[in-house]
Amino acid sequence: MKKEKGLLIVLSGPAGVGKGTVCGALRKQDTDIQYSVSATTRKPREGEKHGVNYFFKTRDEFEAMIATNGLLEWAEYVGNYYGTPMDYVQETMEAGRDIILEIEVQGAQKVRKAFPDGVFIFLAPPSLQELRERIVGRGTETEDVINERMTVAREEIELMKMYDYVVENDQVEHAVERIKSIVTAEHCKRERLIEKYKELAEVEKEC
């Protein structure tokens, strides 16, 4: 019988909403979910390993991946490229494992075009005031940068309509439980299982 293909789960939302925290907590609870390893042209930091933290590439190698459509999404940030390798995502899914991408809203739009069957989850703050307080609480941004982030956050919330699900990150543990429920429900969708049971029915006929 044909093995069920893994899910591509995309988690995104405004800066400061807690994507990294929620994704980390989810991975601790659900070890069957594979975290997507990004490619980058920056140098490895102490303790980082190729294929674990990042796929470390030369600039020429990365640009070749761009030219051959080998990346789901990519961006250049502070002089270095960062992106999601297409092959890694596809191989993980073909092996029957779910894979989660924790990316920005702009990146999610690109992934949606390449993988329309993916599971797109928008992580939302309880309120814009709460989001602002979280960003201020980091203590790393100036008032101008905070205001800019809030402007972008409002624009990103307007793009919520392109997602399949919205999960409010009021408390990390609650957000994780909601995401786990979504993943369970997606695995039970008729569209994902119909070919498997058609094949089973054909086997029964032959018997």
80 band by pLDDT with thresholds 50, 70 and 90 = confident
Is 33 strand, coil or helix?
strand
Count CA atoms closer than 13 A to 112's CA, side-chain side. Answer: 18
Q: Answer whether residue 205 shows pLDDT above 80.
A: no
CATH for 8-36+97-206 (3.40.640.10, 3.40.190.170, 3.40.50.300, 3.40.50.970): 3.40.50.300
The residue ranges of every structural domain in the chain are 8-36+97-206
Q: Answer whether residue 192 shows pLDDT above 80.
A: no
Strands (E), 95-199: 98-102, 119-124, 165-168
Count CA atoms closer than 13 A to 131's CA, side-chain side. Answer: 25
Q: What is the mean pLDDT of residues 185-198?
A: 82
State the DSSP string of 122-140: EEE-S-HHHHHHHHHHH--
Maximum mean pLDDT: which of 4-13, 47-56, 77-86: 4-13
